[in-house]
Amino acid sequence: MVDKFVGTWKMTSSDNFDDYMKALGVGFATRQVGNRTKPSLIINMDDQGMICVKSQSTFKTVEIKFKLNEPFEETTADDRKTMTVFSIENGNLVQKQNWDGKETTIEREVTGDGKLIAKCVMGDVVAVRTYVKEA
Ligand code: DKA
């Protein structure tokens, strides 16, 4: 299930991300950098089922390690401290972050043409970020 997500992905487009960051409560200066940054997403899984997701960019590199369906504490690139849980839903890798009574979801899908699409949802705001596989 997770195998198709494993690899190094490079972001090629990002739609409505500024509004998504605003909905998260990200301040102006960080949004400016966030809008300019094209991260690489590096996803690995070991034989114990531990998954590593690393988002790497000139702005910031953040790495999280977790098992599916097991909540853990995450510090996000914009410095939110969230309780996060990953699951597989309809073949997609779904990340739910909860903090300060709020919730956002990042649903990642690998499409038939081999792209990784990250759909970021906060309330009624949706951002879509597209990645292509590098390795
Ligand atoms: C993705 O492309 C989604 C990343 C979501 C990051 C939210 C906060 C960014 C603040 C700069 O995998």
Residues framing ligand 1 (Cβ under 6 A): 21, 26, 30, 34, 41, 76-78, 106, 118, 120, 129
Distance CA 92, CA 88 (A): 5
pLDDT in tens, 18-55: 999 999 999 999 999 999 999 999 999 999 999 999 99
Nearest-atom number in ligand 1 for the CA of 11 is 2
Distance CA 133, CA 34 (A): 21
- How would you classify the pairing of strands 72-75 and 62-66? unpaired
Contact 118, 108 (CB under 8 A): yes
Residue whose Cα lies nearest atom 5 of ligand 1: it is 120
Q: What is the CATH number of the domain that holds 82?
A: 2.40.128.20
pTM across the whole model: 0.97
pLDDT in tens, 83-97: 999 999 999 999 999
Q: Which domain holds residue 8?
A: 3-133
ipTM: 0.97
What total number of domains does the chain contain?
1
